[in-house]
Amino acid sequence: MREMNLFSTIYLNFITLPFDQAIRFPILIYGKVTIKNARKARLIFHCPLRMGILQIGKNNLGFIDKKRCCSIWNVAGTLHIYGKAGFGQGCCVEVGRNAVLTLGKNFNVTGRSTLLCQNSITFGNECLLS
């Protein structure tokens, strides 16, 4: 299993969430990740906050390549999260400045997948993308 990237986990939680939410570490990042536009992002959790509701770069969601695979998290718009969500190793997630991405409960994307949102995308509960 890939190790958690402590620095990126702390950074993304505290730069995008209010302190009382960030201290619960609802976002966990694994491995290499490039984070862009974190200060512009609006993450809204519509579920009880607990550690690891949103996991980025975890290798149990598909492709595994410890040396060359880097995830990209470029969220400048709004992200609504209704329950546990996971993005596999090497995923590219881009949400435009005025765009809205909504993730239902138990949403997962396997490794090396790309999700681009320039307007609005809504995924329901129990979705798996590959």
**Burial class of residue 57 (count of CB atoms within 10 Å of its CB; 0-12, 13-18, 19+):** buried
Q: How confident is the model at residue 69 (pLDDT cuts 50, 70, 90)?
A: confident
**DSSP type of residue 83:** S
Q: Is 34 helix (H, G, I), strand (E, B) or coil?
A: strand
Q: Domain residue spans in the chain? A: 6-17+30-129
Residue range 80-90: mean pLDDT, rounded = 96
CA distance 54 to 81: 8
* b/e sequence 3-25, b meaning 16+ C-beta within 10 Å: ebbeebbebbbbebbeeebbebb
Vertex 99 angle, CA 95 and 103, to 5°: 70
Q: What pLDDT digit, counting tens, does each position of 25-58 carry?
A: 999 999 999 999 999 999 999 999 999 999 999 8
Alpha helices per DSSP H over the chain: 6-16, 19-22
CA distance 51 to 62: 22
Q: How confident is the model at residue 68 (pLDDT cuts 50, 70, 90)?
A: low
Residue 18 has pLDDT above 80, yes or no: yes
CA distance 101 to 17: 17
Two tokens, residue 74 = 């470029």
Q: How confident is the model at residue 59 (pLDDT cuts 50, 70, 90)?
A: confident
Q: How confident is the model at residue 67 (pLDDT cuts 50, 70, 90)?
A: low
**Model confidence, pTM:** 0.91
